[in-house]
Amino acid sequence: MPYSAVWRTATQPKWPRGPIREAIETGRLIQMIVPDPNMSAAEQAIELVRRLNDPRFAAGASQISRELQEIQLSDHGWAAADAMLDHADANIKFYGALTLQIKLNKDRSTLNEQAAAELRSRLVLWFVSLRDLPPKLIIDKLCSTMATYFIQTPLPWTQTVRQVICSLYASDVVPHDMLSSYPDTSQIIGELSGLRLFMAVRFCRVLAEDVQNSSTLGPQYYHLDSIFKSNTTDSAILMTFVFNPSTRCSPEIAVEAVNCFSAWVAYSFAHWNTDPVALQLLQNLTPMAIQHLLHREQDVRDPTVEFFVNTLEYRSKFLQKNDLESLSLLVRKTIGPQCLAQRPNFLNPAIVAFSKLVTAYGKLIVKDLISERNRESSQEIIDLLQQLLTAPGYPAEDDQVILNVTEFWIEFAEQIADTVMDSPEDEITFLAVVRTDLMQAVQTYIPKLQAPPPSEMSEWDEDNVDQWQFFRDNISDFFDQVNAIPDTHLLSNMVVLATSVLPTQNWLRLEVIIFSINCISDSIVLSDENTQALSALIGSSLFNDISSNDVEVPNKLKRAAMTLVDRYSSFIKKNPQFLPPVLTFLFTILASTPADRVKLADASARTLEQLCSSCRKSLTPHLGELLQQCPQALSGPSANSYQKEKIMAALASIIQALPTEEAKAAPLESLIGVIENDLNTAITTLNAGNLEDSEMLGTSALQCLASIGKGIQALTNDVIDVDSDDEEANDDPAATSNFWTSSAGVEIQNRIVQCINIVEFLHNPGDAMDAACAILRAGLKETKPGPFVFPPQATVTFISKAQISTPRIEAIIGTACSFVSNCSRKSAPHMFDEMSAVYQRVALVMQQLGDPANDPQLAQLCIDFLQRLLVSYIDVLLSPSDDEIAAVLQFVINCMVGNAPMLKRNACNFFETLLGLANPRTANSLPPCRVPPLSVLSAFAGPLSQALIFNIGGLAQRSEIESLCKPLRALVFSQPGLAKQHLEASLLDPGFPSTNVGEKEKRVFAAKVLGLRGGRQTVVVVKEFWALCKGTVTSFE
> Would you state the torsion angle of the CA atoms of residues 479, 480, 481, 485, taken in this order, to the nearest 10 degrees?
90
In a domain, 103, yes or no: yes
Q: Output the pLDDT for position 737.
A: 52
The CA distance from 166 to 178, in Å, is: 10
Give CA separation, 917 vs 723, 874, 984, in Å: 21, 9, 24
The CA distance from 270 to 581, in Å, is: 62
Q: How many other C-beta atoms are found inside a 10 Å radius of the C-beta of residue 1021?
A: 19
Residue 158 in this model has a pLDDT that exceeds 80? yes
Q: What does DSSP assign to residue 878?
A: T
> Would you state the torsion angle of the CA atoms of residues 217, 223, 228, 229, taken in this order, to the nearest 10 degrees?
120
Tell me the average pLDDT of the chain.
89
For 531-541, write each residue's pLDDT tens digit. Answer: 999 999 999 99
In a domain, 169, yes or no: no
For 326-373, write each residue's pLDDT tens digit. Answer: 999 999 999 999 999 998 889 999 999 999 999 999 999 999 999 999
For 20-60, write each residue's pLDDT tens digit. Answer: 444 434 444 334 445 666 788 888 888 888 888 888 888 88
Q: Output the pLDDT for position 732.
A: 45
Residue 183 in this model has a pLDDT that exceeds 50? yes
On whether the CB atoms of residues 389 and 445 are closer than 8 A, the answer is yes
Residue 921 in this model has a pLDDT that exceeds 90? no
The CA distance from 891 to 879, in Å, is: 17
Chain centre distance of CA 610 = 28
Q: What are the beta bridge partners of residue 395?
A: 399
Coil, strand or helix: which one is 554? coil
For 691-733, write each residue's pLDDT tens digit. Answer: 999 999 999 999 999 999 999 987 764 444 444 444 444 444 4
Distance between first and last Cα of the chain: 44
> Would you state the torsion angle of the CA atoms of residues 159, 163, 166, 167, taken in this order, to the nearest 10 degrees?
180
Which helix (H) or strand (E) segment holds residue 966: the answer is helix 961-974
The CA distance from 292 to 827, in Å, is: 82
Coil, strand or helix: which one is 443? helix
Beta strands in 783-876 (DSSP E): none
- Residues 584-596 have a mean pLDDT of 91
Maximal C-alpha separation, the chain = 113
Of 310, 297, 216, 326, give the one whose Cα is nearest residue 259. Answer: 310
The percentage of residues in the chain with a pLDDT greater than 90, rounded to a whole number, is 72
Burial of 206 (0-12, 13-18, 19+ CB in 10 A): buried
Of 959, 977, 979, give the one whose Cα is nearest residue 967. Answer: 979
Of 78, 73, 77, 59, give the one whose Cα is nearest residue 20. Answer: 59
Which residues, in sequence order, are CB contacts of 379 under 8 Å at separation 6+? Answer: 373
Q: Output the pLDDT for position 259.
A: 98
In a domain, 79, yes or no: yes
Q: How big is the CA angle at 446 (ends 445 and 448), to the nearest 5 degrees?
A: 65
Q: Output the pLDDT for position 1032.
A: 62
For 193-237, write each residue's pLDDT tens digit. Answer: 999 999 999 999 999 999 998 876 667 677 889 999 999 999 999
Number of domains comprising the chain: 1
Q: How many other C-beta atoms are found inside a 10 Å radius of the C-beta of residue 9?
A: 18
Burial of 341 (0-12, 13-18, 19+ CB in 10 A): exposed
Range of the domain at 56: 1-110
Residue 832 in this model has a pLDDT that exceeds 50? yes
Residue 134 in this model has a pLDDT that exceeds 80? no
Q: What does DSSP assign to residue 458?
A: T
Residue 5 in this model has a pLDDT that exceeds 90? no
Which residues, in sequence order, are CB contacts of 250 under 8 Å at separation 6+? Answer: 194, 198
The CA distance from 860 to 852, in Å, is: 8
On whether the CB atoms of residues 77 and 71 are closer than 8 A, the answer is yes
In a domain, 76, yes or no: yes
For 481-531, write each residue's pLDDT tens digit. Answer: 999 999 999 999 999 999 999 999 999 999 999 999 999 999 999 899 999
Coil, strand or helix: which one is 782? strand
For 860-901, write each residue's pLDDT tens digit. Answer: 999 999 999 999 999 999 999 999 999 999 999 999 999 999
Q: How big is the CA angle at 356 (ends 353 and 358), to the nearest 5 degrees?
A: 115
Q: Which residue has the higher pLDDT, 719 or 845?
A: 845
The CA distance from 942 to 951, in Å, is: 14
In a domain, 89, yes or no: yes
Any idea how long the chain is?
1037
Binning pLDDT at 50, 70 and 90, where does residue 574 land?
Answer: very high
In a domain, 85, yes or no: yes
The CA distance from 437 to 993, in Å, is: 72
Q: How many other C-beta atoms are found inside a 10 Å radius of the C-beta of residue 134?
A: 16
In a domain, 7, yes or no: yes
CA contacts within 13 A on the Cβ side of 702: 27
- Residues 624-652 have a mean pLDDT of 93
Q: Output the pLDDT for position 36.
A: 65
Q: Output the pLDDT for position 1033.
A: 54
The CA distance from 810 to 84, in Å, is: 66
For 783-813, write each residue's pLDDT tens digit. Answer: 889 999 999 999 999 999 999 999 999 999 9
On whether the CB atoms of residues 390 and 440 are closer than 8 A, the answer is no
Binning pLDDT at 50, 70 and 90, where does residue 91 land?
Answer: confident
The CA distance from 177 to 1028, in Å, is: 56
Among positive and negative, which fits the CA dihedral 975, 981, 986, 987? Answer: positive
Q: How many other C-beta atoms are found inside a 10 Å radius of the C-beta of residue 995?
A: 9
Binning pLDDT at 50, 70 and 90, where does residue 11 land?
Answer: very low
The CA distance from 862 to 852, in Å, is: 10
For 402-426, write each residue's pLDDT tens digit. Answer: 999 999 999 999 999 998 888 777 7
Among positive and negative, which fits the CA dihedral 883, 885, 888, 891? Answer: negative
**One-letter identity of residue 728:** E
Q: Output the pLDDT for position 549.
A: 67
Q: Output the pLDDT for position 218.
A: 66
Binning pLDDT at 50, 70 and 90, where does residue 16 land?
Answer: very low
The percentage of residues in the chain with a pLDDT greater than 70, rounded to a whole number, is 92
The CA distance from 607 to 589, in Å, is: 11
Q: At what angle do helices 792-799 and 743-756 cross, to 10 degrees?
A: 10
The CA distance from 729 to 901, in Å, is: 35
Of 351, 366, 358, give the one whose Cα is nearest residue 330. Answer: 358
The CA distance from 115 to 103, in Å, is: 13
The CA distance from 906 to 887, in Å, is: 17
Considering 32-36, 115-119, 262-266, 736-740, the range whose residues carry the highest mean pLDDT is 262-266
On whether the CB atoms of residues 36 and 63 are closer than 8 A, the answer is no
Residue 18 in this model has a pLDDT that exceeds 50? no
In a domain, 23, yes or no: yes
